[in-house]
Amino acid sequence: MDYRKIRICYNNIVMAIDLSSIRLVPAKDTDNEFLFQARKESSLWLIERVWGKYDEAFQRRTYAQEMEGLQPDVILYENKPAGCCCLMKREDHYSFSAFFVLPEYQGKGIGTYVLKKKLEIADADGLPVRLRHWNFNPAAALYARMGFREIGRTE
């Protein structure tokens, strides 16, 4: 098996993507608007479920607070921005956050590949990875497949 390619079956359509077309690059200040818009586009239904009707000003403030102090990576697929993720080393663990993939790139294995790459970094350091997500987020299935287990829940 060529580990640089992945085949996915979705609704009886088999897709193959070239994993070498996925890159992570450190986000620059000039990427900030893309990251905000990508979060909005990929997570609008989650945002509206949590906060109700979308409020741009409130979401910009929330986004700024969530991204404060993070060093995110832009996910590129075929050299086009496709999403974001952030793995931050803490004292006794890594924190994985700000993970979103634009809808047109979802379901292709890109998120799985990116998460695997980030987990390899933590594994090399021998540290666990922690993340938080809304309990109704479909990404929970990905996290479970990747070996995450729930250790706590807040309301």
Q: Which residue has the higher pLDDT, 125 or 3?
A: 125
Q: Is the pLDDT of residue 1 over 50?
A: no
Instruction: Specify the CATH superfamily of domain 22-145.
Output: Gcn5-related N-acetyltransferase (GNAT) (3.40.630.30)
pLDDT digits (tens, 9 = 90+) for 58-116: 889 999 999 999 999 999 999 999 999 999 999 999 999 999 999 999 888 898 899 99
Task: Record the pTM.
Answer: 0.82
Write out the two tokens for 4.
Answer: 């640089």
pLDDT of residue 61: 94
CB-based burial of residue 61 (10 Å sphere; 0-12 exposed, 13-18 middle, 19+ buried)? exposed
Q: Which pLDDT value is given to residue 121?
A: 93
pLDDT in tens, 10-53: 444 445 677 889 999 999 999 999 999 999 998 887 778 878 88
Q: What span, in angstroms and rounded, lies between the C-alpha atoms of 107 and 84?
A: 15
Looking only at the bridges linking them, the beta strands covering 22-26 and 13-18 are: unpaired
How far is residue 97's CA from residue 86's CA, in Å, rounded to a whole number?
5
pLDDT at residue 3 in the model: 39
Using the predicted structure, report yes or no on whether residue 9 has a pLDDT greater than 70. Answer: no
Distances (CA, A) of 41 to 36, 99, 114, 135: 9, 13, 19, 19
Q: What's residue 107's pLDDT?
A: 85
